[in-house]
Structure 1
């Protein structure tokens, strides 16, 4: 087979020696200790090669809003209200520019697949959706962007919202989201979303139960409908911070239901840490669901970015390696679990998003990020920077190492 490119001297996860990765027509065609051919070569210099990072939950449409919301801190409802006020003034060019700023950072940190939630309602209309649809086309050279339209501020109590969601789905939205806790009738919202998902044959990704009271919730409602609709493997719930406040027995029951119904879970550490527990003046809870424990019980899980520099999360550099490292700190996971945490931003979200062409294996898309580290443990512990990355076998970015300048 004729190759287009070979990455030489790359170290795979758990590998004692380096390998060469041969690429043809945008896919991995061969992985071997050495590959002899006339194709151009990129020397990885013994550094760690990973499949491109997968960000399964981000909000590009409302990123980089600091200074525009007049919001100085509060819980999730205060953040929703702050963005609601300002999004009425969004324009396509404004959304595009802010989202592109985030995408540039994400690509340079090795992200090659991304699912962005997009708010659709009577205040913003389809403005953000149209902007991100343009962005999806313009950035296809570096990242596969999936658009999840959803009602952030309610559905059953927001006249005109459902019609806008339908319009976005007709216009090619990739999947449908929801936010039942923001609705006056959360159960009916869940019902309507499942109905729409079946009508349009799209997956669901719901913001669920953003509080720390495990005495009530909507997890069972979602699991029951996933089974009834045959949507197992096609439903994700994000945040689910109630899981972090459950007793061990309650957690085990919830994990079993999630595994049985095929409902996946995404933890969003930066936002969950920033917004939960604000009613406590001391001994504050973390509020981050232990998704690595759910994985061990057969649930598909991921860790993702969520918000970047807005009232929900007033910081962020779009690095998924940093986010996975933050999760490990919060969950008190040591070196024995670094690999499992790395899975939460690679293989885990790829499975959650049903990406059947993902991974460092023959036949998969040649989406590769080479980290400036010799092992996965070093890369994870140090939050190593990527040295370069490939999207569909094409060099999509490279990063120069810092050069120290001691006195002569």
Structure 2
């Protein structure tokens, strides 16, 4: 007998019509029509079911600090403002703010997250310790991966490397870097690779976060990846410089990234907000073309980055909204484009994080989201809402679909004998 059967689910990859998904011990055990009895049954109501969303790049530790900030949107000012504030962050403060954002993400159907955690002499290990607690507290709803990194550099920030080592020894899941804030960017890249190899960790850099294509730290990351054989375990985020180069150059770089096994995360909300601020007109978007890189074989994701802080003073944790935002920015409108955007917050993001048990398929973790839609491309185009979620087969959230309630008073043209109908309208078809 199944522990759970989610009935009447739209699974476009399985064919037309609705299917049942049977779960045993938190794993998808069967997909088919009219599956047998179960200890618990739920219905998707003939709506689309997706694997849980995957956020490959978010900063939970510095979320929800907008009311404490005065920065006006410049990248340097945002870094300086957070640097000032985090000196006074307590472990409980970080936990409470991060929890507020994490709950929003869970309610939006996100079930796997890589959160970047700042480690330096100003914050010490307080944020790391707070997020370790949060990881334990919400393991029932989300897999939280902690990627420690020195936001303000290594060689120019005495004490940062020792703290980074301490976090890795304490169980960090990945390590990141931020060479554009260091006085020795290439040395920074090499040192992060060395630490990653010592602790056998994946790497995720913040990289090339401006619009000057005349130089790139990406070259150093590609060289280090090839030299160390770390292909498939390296990601770079932002790379907004890639939005400022011609197609032929982008193709050449994309081919190098694919060959080296380096993934790319684009962060539309932050990159749009921070880039191009010196332009008084014809303001560039500053968002790297992830879909074009994906066409070249690069593993690409779209992610949240920041929520309610000076880097991004908005956000609700919805990766489907981020996918839709990217489609707007990149001027994508074809069905295949929408599916690509959806993949970059689901399957492709899972590949970036090397999740081996991801997707609606027999043998994978039963991480499932019921969307208020019947078609995956329309789900992105309409920013469909998640209505219900299951983490390893356990229900973690639900919300009702919107209902339009028409007036019941009879209109002048309606006969007194005509029955009054209250129409219920949802996004499902």
TM-score interval for Structure 1 and Structure 2 normalised by the shorter chain: over 0.9
Q: Conserved in 2, the CA contact under 8 Å of 1:13 and 1:49? A: no
Instruction: Map 1:31-42 to 2 at 5 A.
Output: 31-42=31-42
Query: Is 1:193 matched with 2:192?
Result: yes
Q: Conserved in 1, the CA contact under 8 Å of 2:73 and 2:273? A: no
Match for residue 267 of structure 1?
266
Match for residue 70 of structure 1?
70
Match for residue 171 of structure 2?
172
TM-score, normalised relative to structure 1 = 0.98
Match for residue 382 of structure 1?
382
Q: Secondary structure at the match of 1:101?
A: helix
Q: Conserved in 1, the CA contact under 8 Å of 2:5 and 2:38? A: no
Deviation for aligned residue 1:403:
3.7
Instruction: Map 1:89-128 to 2 at 5 A.
Output: 89-128=88-127
Partners of 1:6 and 1:227 in 2: how far apart?
Answer: 46
Deviation for aligned residue 1:67:
1.4
Partners of 2:241 and 2:81 in 1: how far apart?
Answer: 24
* CA 38–355 in structure 1, closer or farther in 2 if over 3 Å, else same: closer
RCO comparison, higher one (Cα < 8 Å, 6+): 1
Deviation for aligned residue 1:141:
0.5
After superposition, the C-alpha distances for 1:279-315 in whole angstroms (9 at most, x for unaligned) are 1000000110111111111111100000000000000
Query: Is 1:298 matched with 2:290?
Result: no
| Equivalenced residues, count | 406
What's the Cα RMSD here? 0.9
Q: Secondary structure at the match of 2:113?
A: strand
Q: Conserved in 2, the CA contact under 8 Å of 1:263 and 1:300? A: yes
Q: Conserved in 1, the CA contact under 8 Å of 2:3 and 2:25? A: yes
Q: Conserved in 2, the CA contact under 8 Å of 1:107 and 1:142? A: yes
Partners of 2:312 and 2:137 in 1: how far apart?
Answer: 26
Query: Is 1:401 matched with 2:401?
Result: yes
Partners of 2:361 and 2:7 in 1: how far apart?
Answer: 15
Structure 1: where are the runs of 5+ without partners? none
Q: Secondary structure at the match of 1:264?
A: strand
Deviation for aligned residue 1:12:
1.0
Match for residue 50 of structure 2?
50
* CA 295–131 in structure 1, closer or farther in 2 if over 3 Å, else same: same
Q: Conserved in 1, the CA contact under 8 Å of 2:372 and 2:385? A: yes
* CA 38–181 in structure 1, closer or farther in 2 if over 3 Å, else same: closer
Deviation for aligned residue 1:38:
3.7
Match for residue 204 of structure 2?
205
After superposition, the C-alpha distances for 1:166-190 in whole angstroms (9 at most, x for unaligned) are 0000000101011000111100000
Partners of 1:401 and 1:181 in 2: how far apart?
Answer: 45
Q: Conserved in 2, the CA contact under 8 Å of 1:13 and 1:50? A: no
TM-score, normalised relative to structure 2 = 0.93
Moved more, 312-321 or 374-383: 374-383
After superposition, the C-alpha distances for 1:356-388 in whole angstroms (9 at most, x for unaligned) are 010000000000000011111221111011110
Match for residue 80 of structure 1?
79
After superposition, the C-alpha distances for 1:113-153 in whole angstroms (9 at most, x for unaligned) are 00000000000100100000000000000000000000001
Q: Conserved in 1, the CA contact under 8 Å of 2:265 and 2:300? A: yes
